[in-house]
Each structure stands twice: as C-alpha cells, then as structure tokens.
Amino acid sequence: MAEELGILVGALLTLAIFSLLYRDNPFYRAAEHLLVGVSAGYYVVHYFYAAVIRKFTVPVFQQGEWWLLPGGLLGLLIFFRLRPRTAWLSRYAIAFYVAAWSGYLIPSVLQERVLTQIAGTIPDPAAAAPWALAMSLLVLVGVASILVYFYFSAAHTGALGRISRVGILFLMAGFGASFGYTVMGRVSLLIGRFQYLFEDLPRALGRL
Amino acid sequence: MPAPLAAGRPPRRAGRLAALGRVDRRWIFLLVGASVALPLLRPLHLPIGTSREARAYHAEVERLQPGDEMIFSFDYEPDTMAELDPMSLATLRHAFSRGVRVIALTNYAGGPGIALRILGQAASEHERQYGRDYVFLGYNPDYSATMLRMGESIRSTFPTDHFGTPSAELPLLREVDRYADIELLVTVTASALAEYWVIWAGGRFGQRIVAGNTAIQAVLIYPYYQTGQLAGFLGGLKGAAEYERLIGRDGAGVRGMDAQSVAHLLIVCFIVLGNIGYFAQRRSARAAGDAARDGEA
C-alpha cells in the first residue's frame, strides 16, 4: 500500500514538474521546493552517518581504533574557517589533503590519462588490420591537428593555419557527437518519466 | 539609370520561412512529448543493431564461469535511473544466470536505494542467496580512497555490509578480499567514475573493467575503450537496449528505443527547420536593411 501511494505521489510530482513547460505555476514551485528540501535533508543525514558515525565515531570510540583520532581532529580544523580570526588553522587540513592526494593522483593520472592515451594514438602496423590501421591513422591526424589548433605561440597562417583548420573539423565532429549523445541522454530521461507514468502508475493503481 | 533590382523588398517566401524561427517553444515541447509518448503506447518494433563496444561488454560477462566473482558498482543516483537502471538490471540478470557471484557497492550517497531494488529483483528472479551469492556493501565516502583500498582489502574498506553485518561473517567475503580475487569489475555510472576505476583499479591493480555510462559520458569513455583500458562499455539507453538484445531478454531499454528513434528524427527535423528559419530571417533582415538605406539615399 505504501509503495503504491509512493508511486502515485511520484506521478503527481512528475506532472507538477512538467507543468513548467507551459508556464511557471504554484504546482511546479511546490514540487521544486519539495525536491530541494528532501534532497538536502537526505544527503546531510547520509553523509553525516557514512563519514562521521561509520568511519570515525564507531571505530574510535567503540572499537578502540585510536589511530584514526588525529585524522578526525585534522578534519575538524576545517570548521575554523567559519571564524575569520581562526581561519588560518583550516589551512593545515587543506594542506595535508592536497599534498597527500597530489602524491597519489599525479603519477597515476599522468600514466592512465596522458601516457597511455598518447600511446593509444600511435598505430601499430604489425598488430592492426588494414581498416583498424586506417582508423588509428585518422585518430593520429585528429589529435595532431587539434593540438596544432591549440598552439597559440605562432600565428595560424600558412601550413599552420591549414593544419589548424583540419583540427577545427575534428573538433566540430567531436562536438557534434557530444551533442547527439546529449540529446539521447535528455530524451532518455523523458522516456523514463513516461514509462513511469504509462507502466508503473497503472500497475500501482491496479493494486490499490 | 535603372533602379537597383528590387533589392529592398524582402521576398515573401523568405518572410514566411522566417516565421519558423519564431515558433512558440511550447509547440516544440508538445511535439517532442508526443513523439516519445506515442511509440511507448504503440511500439513500432524498429530494428536495434549491436555495437562493437556492447558486444565486448557482453563477451566479458559471458566468459565468466559459475563461481567467479564480479564487483558491481552502482555509481549513479535517481536522476539518471532512466538510462542506467536497464543496464544494471540486464548485467545482473546475465551474471546471476551464469552463476557469477556479485559484490555490489555504490560510490554515491543516493545509490543504496537503487542498488537494493535492482539487486533484489535480479537475485529473486534467479533465486540467489544474500551473503553466499551476492552482497551489498553500501556507500563509502571518498570514491578514490575506496577504490584504492579495495585493492588491498575489501573487508577493511567495508568492515560491515550495508545492513551492518560484519564483512568477515559474510561467506562470499570470506573467500575474496581484493581485486586479485575478482575476475571482472563493472561500473554503471553517470559521471567520470569509470575513469577513476580505470586509474585506480585498472592502472594500479590491473583489474579488468567494463563500464555502463550515460549517453553524455559515453563520448569521454571511447578513448579508454580504444586503448584497451576498458574492456567494453555501454553508452546510454541505446547501449542498454543493445545489451538486452545480446542477453536475449528485452527490458526497459528496448521498450524505450522506439521512442528514442522517433524523438531523434523529430529533433533532426527541428534542426533543419530552425536553420531554414534562421537563414530566412537573416535574408529578410538584410533585405530590410538594404531597403532602409535605399530610402535614405
């Protein structure tokens, strides 16, 4: 019964949100405020429970993992930002976090996002089939010409200008693909709502 | 001297076409709504082909043997359920049907509700038992730290599962504890988390990974598939529909594809008409400007 009522309320709120497409109105405003309020409440409680209770309070005070205490205290320093006279203390927490994560992130990100990707643009004639080799060459030309387009230390004239124009064509193809996928994503969300209204709602009403 | 060739008067046809650029946007909303609603109510059964990426994703799950383990990360929240729920459900149905054991988690605070619903549905359809055949570890703050630490010990990263049961008491987690024990990692995500799984689990620990992504993210994921850092991926509702076809069980993805195709056709028409209206407006404005200049002369 509770699930069916929940689906019914969800359907009414969906229609209230859709009503904005005609024009702004109190139903839309009410649904929007409800969404913001419920989301804020949910996330505050969830983050507090998951981070403070589950990861700090329980291990330190119930399981005796006292070595977590310095980390917790360092985290508390962030709240000193709220008072201008003590704001400098929060920098210790930020400095520790930035330094630790830079050490972790920089080598790994450089390897996986830069070096491996660069290697991926260089075709291997021995391993690739003719069609795959042609595609790899296309990727290579695209990457090189786009990099030329973003080279700003020389005027884009002559050969440099012609190569950068090829880069623009590749960029446009990339933006077009991105736009097409974005349209697909947005239409999918609408499909999801309509499936809710046409499939889930009648099933729920039938069970009531 | 003859007068200039009627340069000033905007052509009547151009004026009519220029009206295309002034259509009330609510008509567009209505037409898009109808283009989505009608195919859902009256399916057209348009053909759905399968892409190389989707076949690779399917092959990765297909090669798993009964008793193998898979990590499944629900890295999304309710705002992208429409695109990603069909992928999650299809993947878990496929995995459970092959006897694969699943260790599920989420890196989003809004993820547990989704994960519990879909895990529950797929597990009950295949009579899988919680604790032995699948577990749900819940949400852990800080995804990078979670991904890194799981490579060393899943039990210490998640001392308890989502329901508070100690991980060491779950039969499945007594047997596996790190990426080295896991055959495949699946992330279904609405953000850049697939890239972070590649960096941390793939790059550092050599974990084999496949990803299901929203359509918007799919463009960013292609390079990782091209380099082999991802073994396969699904992009948007189309990817979900392809996967449903590959496992031979149609679901919300396939049901939504007729609407997707019709809406796309309509939007292509709008783009063409909008461009015609734009150029006609520009032509009318230029002709009106010429007329004004001729009048002044």
* pLDDT tens for each residue of B73-117: 999 999 999 999 999 999 999 999 999 999 999 999 999 999 999
Are B82 and A192 in contact (CB < 8 Å)?
yes
The rounded mean pLDDT for chain B is 91
Whether the CA torsion B255, B256, B261, B262 is positive or negative: it is positive
Q: Answer whether B28 touches A (CB < 8 Å).
A: no
Q: For residue A201, is it within any domain?
A: yes
Q: Which of residues 38-77 of A touch B (CB under 8 A)?
A: 42-43, 46-47, 50-51, 55, 59
Residues in chain A closer than 8 A to B204 (CB atoms): 108
Question: Would you call A116 and B227 a contact, using CB atoms and an 8 Å cutoff?
Answer: yes
DSSP B122: H
Strand arrangement of the beta sheet that strand B69-75 belongs to? B134-139, B101-106, B69-75, B184-189, B209-213, B232-235
| Segments forming the whole domain that contains residue A133 | 127-208
Q: Do A178 and B219 touch (CB under 8 A)?
A: yes
Same domain for B107 and B134, yes or no, is yes
- To the nearest whole Å, the CA of B109 is away from the closest chain A CA by 6
B222: CATH: 3.40.50.620
Mutation pick from B53, B226, B266 vs chain A, by most beta carbons of A within 10 Å, is B226
Are B155 and B246 in the same domain? yes
Cα B218 from Cα A189, distance rounded (Å): 16
pLDDT at residue B6 above 50? no
Question: Are the CB atoms for B253 and B241 separated by under 8 Å?
Answer: yes
Question: Which residue in chain A has the smallest CA separation from B79?
Answer: A189
Q: Is B81 in the A-facing interface, judged by CB distances under 8 Å?
A: yes
Any domain includes A180: yes
Asked if B219 and A177 come within 8 Å (Cβ–Cβ), the reply is yes
CB B139 within 8 A of CB B106: yes
User: Is A191 in Cβ contact with B40 (below 8 Å)?
Assistant: yes
- pLDDT tens digit sequence for B184-212: 999 999 999 999 999 999 999 999 999 99
The 3-state DSSP composition of chain B as helix, strand, coil percent (nearest 5) reads 60, 10, 30
Widest Cα–Cα separation across chain B:
100
Total of domains in chain B: 2
Q: A178 lies in a domain?
A: yes
Query: What are the mean pLDDT values of chain A's consecutive 10-residue runs (208 residues total)?
Result: 90 96 96 96 92 90 91 91 93 93 90 91 75 85 94 90 95 94 94 94 89
> Do residues B107 and B204 both lie within one domain?
yes
d(CA B232, CA B50): 13
Residue B211 and residue B240 in contact, taking contact as beta carbons nearer than 8 Å: no
Size of interface A-B (CB pairs under 8 A): 121
B153 close to B177: Cβ distance less than 8 angstroms: yes
Please answer yes or no on whether B216 and A42 come within 8 Å at the CB atom: no
- What is the pLDDT at residue A3? 87
Considering the domain architecture, whether residues B145 and B274 belong to the same structural domain is answered as no
- Assess whether B237 and B270 both reside in one domain: no
Q: Which of A137, A191, A197 to mutate to test the interface with B (most CBs of B within 10 A)?
A: A191
Which residues of chain B from 176 to 215 reach within 8 Å of chain A, CB to CB?
195, 198-200, 202-204, 214-215
Please report whether residue B164 resides in a domain. Answer: yes
HEC profile of A116-182:
HHHHHHCCCCCCCCHHHHHHHHHHHHHHHHHHHHCCCCCCCCHHHHHHHHHHHHHHHHHHHHHHHHH
Residue B172 lies in a domain: yes
Q: How far apart are CA B98 and CA B93, in angstroms?
A: 9
* Torsion angle, alpha carbons of A101, A106, A108, A110, to 10: 160
Would B61 be classed as within a structural domain? yes
Residues of B in contact with A185 (CB under 8 A): 83, 214-216, 236
A195 and B CB contact within 8 Å: yes
Task: Tell me which residue in B81, B139, B229 faces A112 most closely, judged by beta carbons.
Answer: B229
Are B26 and B68 within one domain?
A: no
Whether residue B27 lies within 8 A of chain A, CB to CB, comes out as no
pLDDT beyond 70 at B1: no
Q: What is the mean pLDDT of residues B156-179?
A: 94
Determine the Cα angle at A183 with ends A179 and A189, to 5°.
145
Q: Would you put residue B206 in left (φ > 0), alpha (ψ -120 to 50) or beta?
A: left
Q: What is the pLDDT of residues B238-271, one digit of tens each?
A: 999 999 999 999 999 999 999 999 999 999 999 9
- pLDDT tens digits, one per residue of B40-59: 999 999 999 999 999 999 99
Among B29, B229, B263, whose Cβ lies nearest the Cβ of A187? Answer: B263
Q: Let me know if residue B6 belongs to a domain.
A: no
Is the same domain home to B105 and B209? Answer: yes
For residue B4, what pLDDT band results from cuts at 50, 70 and 90?
Answer: very low
Residue A73: inside a domain: no
Whether the Cβ atoms of residue B231 and residue B197 lie closer than 8 Å to each other: no
Going by pLDDT thresholds of 50, 70 and 90, the confidence category of residue B10 is low
Contact between residue B121 and residue B134 where contact means Cβ atoms under 8 Å apart: no
Closest-CA residue to B111 (of B83, B85, B144): B85
Whether residue A157 lies inside any domain: the answer is yes
Q: Are residues B223 and B269 in the same domain?
A: no
Any CB–CB contact under 8 A between A187 and chain B?
Answer: yes
Residues B232 and B90 grouped into a single domain: yes
- Beta carbons of B119 and B133 less than 8 angstroms apart: no
Q: CA–CA separation, B52 vs A180, rounded Å?
A: 19
Q: Do B226 and A105 touch (CB under 8 A)?
A: no
Per the structure block, which two tokens stand in for B84? 């990603």
3-state secondary structure of B109: coil
Looking at the fold, whether B238 and B266 belong to one and the same domain comes out as no
Decide: A77 and A95 in contact? Cβ < 8 Å: no
Number of domains in chain A: 1
pTM of the model: 0.89
Range of the domain at B283: 12-42+258-296
Report the C-alpha gap between B147 and B193 in whole angstroms.
Answer: 10
- Asked, for residue B1, whether it belongs to a domain, the answer is no
Distance CA B106, CA A62 (A): 25
Tell whether A206 is covered by a domain.
yes
Residue A90 lies in a domain: no
Q: Do A184 and B229 touch (CB under 8 A)?
A: no
Instruction: Report the Cα–Cα distance between both ends of chain B, in Å, rounded.
Output: 15
B96 and B222, same structural domain? Answer: yes
Judge whether A48 lies within some domain: no
